[in-house]
Structure 1
Amino acid sequence: MKQKTVLLADDHVMVAEGLKNLLKEEYDIVGIVEDGNVLVQKARELKPDVIVSDISMPIMNGINAAEKILAVNKEVKIILLTMHPELKYAMKALDIGVQGYLLKHAAPEELLIAIKTVLSSKTYITPTLAADIMDAYKNKQGQPEDPLDILTARQRQVLQLLAESHSAKEIANILNVSSRTVEFHKYKMVEVLKLKSANELVPFAIKNGLV
């Protein structure tokens, strides 16, 4: 029987190699990437059965990358790993169609269970958070929306890069656009987020957990 394919994404090489060693006997590891931008590219090229990705990655975080991937491929199963137990990350991930959500300090066996679960077209949520997530969904009505949701995917990417201390010129090179385009995105974000100036963009990104 042909092994299912898995694409790994984590900017910490030792973590990624550990995941590879854990999974390689049961699955065909088709690649390891270190940032969300490359993850989106490789997902389109390799078309893996499962993607296991950290949420906190440079250039584009795991949630934004998952959103882009699922927009063009609804069949791929995505499992996100995170150090953050905050429910808003889990709820955002589930809202965009991510099938698995684990805390990084969970036992390795839990990841194996999660992969088998998502491959059977079911959702896996780490038991540590499952009850709290269910309660949060029940109480979701009337709660304020995540302010990041009003930004486009490209704007969120530019904002993350700004928060990672990249200049407009560096961001333009990373995204293969002009510096003027980057400045336009900054201007639009200040406008839609109702900030006073572009100087408030980085504190806003940090406050809302984009980095």
Structure 2
Amino acid sequence: MRRARVLLADDHRIVAEGLKSILEPEFELVGIVEDGRTLVEAVEKLQPDVVVADVSMPLLNGIEAMRQFKKKYKNIAVVILTMHTDVMYAAEAFEAGASGYVLKHSASSELVTAVSNAYRGRTYITPLLAGSLLQFHKQKSQEPFDESTRLTGRQREVLQLIAEGHSVKEIASILGISPKTVEFHKYSMMESLGLKTSVELVRYAVKHGIVDK
């Protein structure tokens, strides 16, 4: 079997260099990117076999970036590599289409296995969270679902940029939409989530893993 072509996404250069040293002996590393929007563009250009992506990245987080490129490239496997031990992040990652979930402190011992499994069409989750993820899904299946809390992809994009401190004009420029449309998304989210201020909106983004703390 040929070596898997891997694209790495992590906004911390020192961490990325360490991950590069783990990945290069086993796989063909086709590129390293530092934010979610560049990741989506790189997937389009390079079409790797496997993407290794951090959750917390500027402009667009790793899970949202995955949701975007998975619409067109369903066969590209994704391994999420993160510091987050909260099982909620893992659940959301797999729901969005991830094939693997590895904690950064376990990367030296688990990342190669996770990427190899993803390349072969298998799933890998760090053993530390496997039991918790199963329990999370069991509990979630027993809870009533509130449709009003499900944001659209565009709303999640706007929310992340708001939480990162970008102005309405900056968000409009980044997303290629009008400032009025940004405002519409902002107040639609606040209404559907029952929030009254921008501060509450930012807290929601942090709580639900759309941005890092």
- Tell me if TM exceeds 0.5: yes
Where do residues 151-170 of structure 1 align in structure 2 (5 Å cutoff)? 151-170=151-170
SS class of match (1:3): coil
Gaps of 5+ in 1: none
Show the counterpart of 1:44: 44
TM-score normalised by length of structure 1: 0.92
For residue 170 of structure 2, what is the amino acid of its counterpart? E
Show the counterpart of 2:133: 133
Contact 1:100–1:123 (CA<8 Å) still a contact in 2? Answer: yes
Show the counterpart of 2:200: 200
Contact 1:147–1:193 (CA<8 Å) still a contact in 2? Answer: no
Task: Confirm whether residue 34 of structure 1 aligns to residue 34 of structure 2.
Answer: yes
Contact 1:50–1:78 (CA<8 Å) still a contact in 2? Answer: yes
Report Cα offsets for 1:165-206 as digits up to 9, x if no partner. Answer: 111111112222221221121121122212224453222222
Report Cα offsets for 1:70-108 as digits up to 9, x if no partner. Answer: 121111110001111111111111112200001111141
Contact 2:35–2:60 (CA<8 Å) still a contact in 1? Answer: yes
**How many positions carry a matched residue from both structures?**
211
Deviation at 1:133, TM superposition (A): 1.0
Instruction: State the distance in 1 between where 2:98 and 2:107 align.
Output: 20
Counterparts in 2 of 1:206 and 1:168: CA distance versus 1, 3 Å: same
SS class of match (2:25): coil
Instruction: State the distance in 1 between where 2:147 and 2:6 align.
Output: 33
Deviation at 1:209, TM superposition (A): 2.8
Task: Confirm whether residue 57 of structure 1 aligns to residue 74 of structure 2.
Answer: no
Deviation at 1:11, TM superposition (A): 0.5
For residue 27 of structure 2, what is the amino acid of its counterpart? Y
Contact 2:35–2:61 (CA<8 Å) still a contact in 1? Answer: yes
Where do residues 32-181 of structure 1 align in structure 2 (5 Å cutoff)? 32-143=32-143, 145=145, 150-181=150-181
TM-score normalised by length of structure 2: 0.91
Counterparts in 2 of 1:53 and 1:91: CA distance versus 1, 3 Å: same
Deviation at 1:147, TM superposition (A): 8.0
Instruction: State the distance in 1 between where 2:127 and 2:90 align.
Output: 12
Moved more, 180-189 or 73-82: 180-189
Deviation at 1:109, TM superposition (A): 2.6
Show the counterpart of 1:10: 10
Identity %: 50
Deviation at 1:145, TM superposition (A): 4.8
Counterparts in 2 of 1:147 and 1:51: CA distance versus 1, 3 Å: farther
For residue 183 of structure 1, what is the amino acid of its counterpart? E
SS class of match (2:141): coil
For residue 130 of structure 1, what is the amino acid of its counterpart? A
Query: What RMSD in Å do the two structures reach over aligned CA positions?
Result: 1.9
Moved more, 183-192 or 78-87: 183-192
SS class of match (1:11): coil
